[in-house]
Structure 1
Amino acid sequence: MTRAWVLHPDIKSDPDRRDAPMALDEAVSLAHALPDLEVVGHEVVPLPRPQPGMLFGSGKIAELAERLKAAEVELVLVDGPVTPVQQRNLEKEWKVKLLDRTGLILEIFSDRAATREGVLQVEMAHLSYQRTRLVRAWTHLERQRGGLGFVGGPGETQIEADRRAIDEQLVRLRRQLDKVVRTRDLHRKARAKVPYPIVALVGYTNAGKSTLFNRLTGAEVMAKDMLFATLDPTMRKVTLPTGADVILSDTVGFISDLPTELVAAFRATLEEVLAADVVVHVRDISHPETDEQAADVRAILESLGVAEETAQIELWNKIDLLDADEAEALRLRATREDGVFVVSALTGQGLDEMLQAVTRALGEERRREELVLGYDEGRKRAWLFERGLVEGEQQGEDGFRLQLNWSARDRARFASMD
């Protein structure tokens, strides 16, 4: 186990400054998401403004050096951006390895990514991050490499050689990723022929999406009290109360200050959200910063290009963690807001109402109708039976007389078979 210490710089001059104790709690949760780390200490460091060379002032650096040495710390996690120069200087001063927020999130992504696409995206994000930090390397990277002009020309520095190697690797990874994305696109097109509507679960990390997904589908997606427990979207078929089938998609959790290069790297992982017919925004309503988290999720959805016309439902989850008075007040509030439901993914409370709302949002209100198909229309008849739309059937002189229970969407798909 690596002994780690978490620091949250509370920068007074930062206009977007977050509540420091809350931000520190989240940073510690991020650290706990890596299995090989033991967090032996954490603190908020008040800072009027960042120092260009060292981030912190010299007095604070000396004070922290003593604490880190006494606790035998091997890794310092700084919850915020650290420049390559600051990282190099702090590592020298404290004689420890240092990761900033982006570096830590990348480590978690590396540990969690499960699909081929996820792994490739993480590698690309890692390399892009490393490329910007080559300047922090030790003096061996500043040596000039003589040459005969075969590779990079005479006098190419080690930094230039490393940067070129990273660029070549990025090109290779992009080609591999293009192949994976093309294969995935074929799968999506095959699914579109079914085609079931997609209901995507989104929300801040640790909001309870995977617990909800497991309860609705019976799947065993990793659902731990841990940030980024799910990184790759998992998809399962779910039958709504009306009998209609949908595909439920559990996606990676969002987080505040997620580096832009990571949002870009995981765009394809989140593309099921772009294809969704209904987006279900799961909120941890018991969290003190639930409103700020919800704002972060909405901003990311907007940046991903989720269409405004896509139906959205909001779930206020973890109601079981609140006392009776608070829970009742939230229920009353939710009744006054459109498309908001108070639920507990853990106990199942409120989920029936939520599923009925999903049904309404999909326009899946069903109607009983009779349909006559000729004996030569076996393919259409098979299609109706495959989807469980047939409640009864008689055979007559003119063909099959079918009693159907179907939605407008089913009817439209059936009509498109002509």
Structure 2
Amino acid sequence: MTSSDTALAATRAAVILPWERPERQDEARAAEARLEEAVGLAASIGLIVVRQAVLLIRARRPATLLGTGQVESLAEAVREDKVTVVVMDARLSPGQQRNLEKALGCKVIDRTGLILDIFGARAATREGTLQVELAHLEYQRSRLVRLWTHLERQRGGFGFLGGPGETQIEADRRMIGDRIVRLKKELEQVRRTRGLHRQARKRVPFPVVALVGYTNAGKSTLFNTLTGAAVHAQDQLFATLDPTMRGLRLPSGRRVILSDTVGFISELPTELVAAFRATLEEVAEADIILHVRDVAHPDTVAQRADVVGVLDGMARDGMLGTDWPSRTIEVLNKADLLGGVDQVPTRAGTVAISAITGQGLPALLDAIDARLTAAMEVARYVLPVTAGSALAWLYEHGEVIDRHDGDEDVSLQVRLLGADRGRFEVQFAEQLRA
């Protein structure tokens, strides 16, 4: 983050949700839920929310989004509450942002800017930092008039730096463009490195189980409970950014790699989706997808739709196989808030759990086992008794369902994932007998 972003922390804020005038009661409830989420987003980076409101709008004003009277009332409230930053839970154009800042006399950030600030505060690894910086640059390139005063000033007249007629904004925009090009090259290298890591996992392959879901659904808590890892988990939106992986042994004895990933959110900025493509690729590589839902949240149905929408978009872009629904288990988390797993209605492909209490976790592990088993193929191999490494490989990565030992040969019937079967037959081709 920039120093100006860091300065947002511990400042007094107002969170405002511009909302089209609701025609039904359920739309009014949806507005309150959306406002509550926005307040949580603001609080997650340390903003002290001293005022929050839903402002009903009849028509979106090109200059300020809000109506003239609403802007004047909001300006008075800003002065009264000594607010230093107003969070508008909507997408503002650069002109609307500048006009509102002038009218309100304080800094204004929109939903996209807020989410980018959150990601900047959470990113911990090299990859995460690069992704956040790229997202910021893509977003702020059109907001150069005020936000990029910290960039090196262009004086002109120094050869490649440009002539005296070049404006400051043009210079800053070119500098940002150059930095974006460099960042994309660095990120491409990160993706290649991640690809090498995936190739390494395929050489010693274990199925990958990826946790996805709406932010704050409890993915990291579930990850910690299942693996005993110390991944950052707290009641805070976007608590996890960089994917974390740990090994996990299922009841059947087979091992899997569990991957915790960043949470999704409604109206996720397009700049963010593109910048975090490498993170989302972990989901694309998964054999099983666990869609973790906060089943106790009043907006849980809409949250599910947001996550499914992102995954569908990934499938359309070729990042995720179109068969992803068949590889997905819906995990209905926070059942403890509804009286336990028995009080949560389930259907085929769903499991009710509480990551906090551990209730329902054995059923979840069994479901993962069953889903992996359903995706497996049965193969029969004949190996020499001396092929100890090949035999060990099959026991480690598959399920031996029948075995006959002869004087010179061992005949096995094994259940394997299709990808593992291919790897085995390539790796141990010379030892296989007809």
Q: What band does the TM-score fall into relative to the shorter chain?
A: 0.7 to 0.9
Decide whether the 8 Å contact of 2:207 with 2:257 is kept in 1.
yes
Match of 2:4 in 1: none
Q: Which residue of 2 aligns with 1:32?
A: 43
Counting only pairs closer than 5 Å after superposition, residues 1-400 of structure 1 correspond to structure 2 as: 1-12=10-21, 19-35=30-46, 37-135=47-145, 147=157, 150-305=160-315, 306-310=320-324, 311-323=327-339, 328=342, 330-331=344-345, 334=346, 337-363=347-373, 373-374=383-384, 376-384=386-394, 398=408
SS of residue paired to 1:270: helix
State the shift of 1:394 in Å. Answer: 12
* Separation of aligned partners in 1, 2:249 and 2:424: 20
Q: Deviation string for 1:5-36 (max 9, x for gaps)?
A: 1111113399xx8821111000001011103x
Contact 2:400–2:415 (Cα < 8 Å) also in 1:
no
2:416 aligns with one of 408, 411, 415:
408
Structure 1, residues 69-100: CA drift from partner, whole Å, max 9, x if none? 12111111111111111211221222211111
Between the aligned residues of both structures, percent identity stands at 53
**Tell me, what secondary structure is at the counterpart of 1:98?**
strand
- Aligned residue-pair number: 407
Contact 1:75 1:96 in 2 (8 A): yes
One-letter code of the match for 1:282?
A: V
**SS of residue paired to 1:156:** coil
Give me the TM-score of the superposition, normalised by structure 1: 0.87
Unaligned runs of 5+ in 2: 1-9, 430-434
The alignment partner of 1:51 has SS state of coil
- Bigger shift: residues 69-78 or 103-112: 69-78
Deviations, residues 339-387 of structure 1 (Å, cap 9, x unaligned): 1111111111112122112112112799999987536534324535766
TM-score by length of 2: 0.84
TM-aligned CA deviation for residue 213 of structure 1:
0.7
Asked if structure 2 preserves the Cα contact closer than 8 Å seen for 1:240 and 1:355, the reply is: yes
Residue ranges of structure 1 left out of the alignment (5+ in a row): none
User: Any conservation in 2 of the 1:31–1:39 contact (CA below 8 Å)?
Assistant: yes
Conserved 8 A contact 1:244-1:364:
no
The answer to whether the Cα contact below 8 Å between 1:87 and 1:136 also exists between their aligned partners in 2 is no
SS at match of 1:254: coil
Distance 1:137 1:231, change over 3 A: closer
CA separation of 1:59 and 1:343: change in aligned 2, threshold 3 A? same
Distance 1:187 1:121 in 2: 19
The residue identity in structure 2 corresponding to 1:163 is R
Q: CA deviation at 1:312?
A: 1.1
Q: Which amino acid aligns with 1:32?
A: A
Give the CA deviation at 1:59.
Answer: 2.0
**Which whole-Å CA distance do the structure 2 matches of 1:145 and 1:71 have between them?**
41
Contact residue 282 and residue 317 of structure 1 kept, 8 A: yes
* Larger CA deviation: 276-285 vs 47-56: 47-56
Give the match's secondary structure for 1:294. Answer: helix
Equivalent residues of 1:204, 1:283 under 8 A apart = yes
Given residue 83 of structure 1, which amino acid in structure 2 is its aligned partner? S
Q: Which amino acid aligns with 1:53?
A: A
Output the amino acid matched with 2:243: P
C-alpha distance 236-304 of structure 1, shift in aligned 2 (>3 A) = same
**Distance verdict in 2 for CA 1:365–1:300, change over 3 Å:** closer
Amino acid at match of 2:415: S
The aligned amino acid for 2:108 is L
Kept after mapping to 2: 8 A contact 1:6/1:41: yes
Report the AA paired with residue 247 of structure 2: K
Cα distance in 2 for partners of 1:160, 1:211 equals 47
Change in Cα spacing, 1:144 to 1:219, as seen in structure 2 (3 Å) is: closer
**Is the alpha carbon distance of 1:160 and 1:365 closer, same or farther for their aligned partners in structure 2, counting shifts above 3 Å?**
closer
Asked if the contact 2:148/2:172 (under 8 Å) is kept, the reply is no
1:50 alignment partner, SS class: coil
Contact (CA 8 Å) 2:379, 2:415: kept in 1 or not? no
**1:154 CA displacement:** 4.1
